[in-house]
Chain A
Amino acid sequence: AQSVTQLGSHVSVSEGALVLLRCNYSSSVPPYLFWYVQYPNQGLQLLLKYTSAATLVKGINGFEAEFKKSETSFHLTKPSAHMSDAAEYFCAVSDSYGGADGLTFGKGTHLIIQP
């Protein structure tokens, strides 16, 4: 069974500072990994995904994530936080595309941007 652990239910950074959101996963097979963002009262928007190509994945809005197999991690980073980055972020894992297990989500990290 897959599982995802997001360290820190709330992360607060100053505007312009580095954003680092942590995600560790467990999977019995090489995984597909995703980061989604959810703005208040909205659906989930895909930030980026890892599908066994390059280990450093670039996404939208200046975010990127690095797949580290030895650490079973897929942390999300952004060099300089913007006020508009304030949202809920979810890491998710799947061992197959379109399979019965779908995506297994972490519990989410609420990102707070301090002015």
Chain B
Amino acid sequence: NAGVTQTPKFQVLKTGQSMTLQCAQDMNHNSMYWYRQDPGMGLRLIYYSASEGTTDKGEVPNGYNVSRLNKREFSLRLESAAPSQTSVYFCASTTGDAGGYTFGSGTRLTVV
């Protein structure tokens, strides 16, 4: 099925460990986004990518890095995980016209 695929779905990390969250879309979308969702906070933008090789910081980028190696894939990396990064992470993409934004099913990350 066409859409946005995120891996893994669940992850537990120890403080200081690193990991990469993967996101891939097969809808030929140009714009891709990483959000985090925390209780009572809604979703907040971490990073944005308009196209391959370009990225911009969002509202809460500290502690994260991203890579847009090709049009399909947009990864989010935590270099040294902290308990404050415990959250649910969503990847999204859009064509840039009125087609709407499509979200992945999320990655639930716990940092202990």
Chain A residues at the B interface, C-beta cutoff of 8 Å: 4, 9, 32, 34, 36, 41-46, 49, 51, 90, 92, 97-108
- Tell me which of A9, A97, A108 has the highest count of chain B C-beta atoms within 10 A of its own C-beta: A97
The one of B42, B48, B103 in contact with A106, judged by C-beta atoms closer than 8 angstroms, is B42
The A/B interface has a contact count, at CB < 8 Å, of 70
Shortest beta-carbon distance, A10 to chain B, in Å?
A: 11
Interface of B is mostly: strand
The one of B30, B31, B90, B97 in contact with A44, judged by C-beta atoms closer than 8 angstroms, is B90
Interface string of B56-84 (1 = CB under 8 A from A): 10100000000000000000000000000
Given that A107-B40, A108-B42 are known contacts, is A100 also in contact with B106, CB under 8 Å in the complex?
A: no
Contact B50 A9 (CB under 8 A): no
Judge whether B2 is part of the interface by a CB distance below 8 angstroms.
no
Contact B101 A103 (CB under 8 A): yes
Given that A90-B43, A102-B48, A106-B42 are known contacts, is A97 also in contact with B97, CB under 8 Å in the complex?
A: yes
Contact A98 B95 (CB under 8 A): yes
What residue in chain A is nearest B96 (Cβ atoms)? A98
Point out the residues of chain B lying under 8 angstroms from A32, CB to CB: 98
Point out the residues of chain A lying under 8 angstroms from B43, CB to CB: 44, 90, 92, 103, 105
The one of A34, A44, A100 in contact with B56, judged by C-beta atoms closer than 8 angstroms, is A100
Point out the residues of chain A lying under 8 angstroms from B104, CB to CB: 43
A108, B43: Cα distance in complex, Å = 9
Contact A97 B48 (CB under 8 A): no
Contact A43 B103 (CB under 8 A): yes
A100, B50: Cα distance in complex, Å = 7
Given that A43-B103, A102-B58 are known contacts, is A107 also in contact with B50, CB under 8 Å in the complex?
A: no
Judge whether B7 is part of the interface by a CB distance below 8 angstroms.
no
- Tell me which of A9, A46, A105, A106 has the highest count of chain B C-beta atoms within 10 A of its own C-beta: A105
Q: Known pairs A98-B96, A100-B48, A103-B101; list 16 more (Cβ under 8 Å).
A: A34-B100, A42-B106, A43-B90, A43-B103, A43-B104, A44-B43, A44-B103, A90-B42, A97-B99, A98-B30, A98-B50, A98-B97, A100-B56, A102-B31, A102-B101, A105-B43
